[in-house]
Amino acid sequence: MAANAPSAANNRPTRVRKRSVSIAGHETSVSLEDAFWTVLAAIAQARRVSVNRLIGEIDRTRSGNLSSAIRVFVLENRPDQT
């Protein structure tokens, strides 16, 4: 395997990644599985907003944990949902 080639472990949809986001001017971090980050980005793109803005909208309506609220939002709004 080449030194720069990504390992299979780095490309799993279940791998959890922590990303910094800005919500209402405050920096925080959110941990989500890669699959959720991917679909969240697709939803943001379809709505023509940034991922940060979309997370801000989710944050304003949530009642519990932000990561959980994002996961539920993604499940309820995924592009392939019929």
| Region 16-44 average pLDDT | 94
The per-residue DSSP string of 26-74 comes to EEEEEEEEHHHHHHHHHHHHHHT--HHHHHHHHHHH-SS-HHHHHHHHH
Residue 10 confidence class, pLDDT cut points 50, 70, 90: low
Predicted TM-score (pTM) of the model is 0.80
Residue 3, pLDDT score = 42
| More confident position, 78 or 30 | 30
Domains in the chain with CATH codes: 18-77 (1.10.3990.20)
